[in-house]
Amino acid sequence: MMIPIRCFTCNKIIGNKWETYKTHLESGMSTSDAFAEIGLRRYCCKRMFLGHVEIIDKLLLYSQNKDNDSNEKSAK
């Protein structure tokens, strides 16, 4: 699932900060430093980031691609 566009509690726009946040974490920055760098000060907005789980990559492993199925059947 994608990060929500706005914080559920305060309605601040947070969706545009997700990629920057992930980049900071991958570079080895601490979570609190990453929050300070992207400008998240409220704990409700921080909760949105800390509680978010990227499950779309896992779901795509189980999706059925109908184009590939029809091509495989026609090849037989």
Domains of the chain by start residue, with CATH: 15-75 (1.10.10.60)
- pLDDT 10s digit of each residue in the chain, 76 long? 688 999 999 999 999 999 999 999 999 999 999 999 999 999 999 999 999 888 888 888 888 776 655 555 555 5
Per DSSP, the residues of the chain read: -PPPSB-TTT--B-GGGHHHHHHHHHTT--HHHHHHHHT--SHHHHHHHHT----HHHHHHT---HHHHHHHHHH-
pTM of the model: 0.70
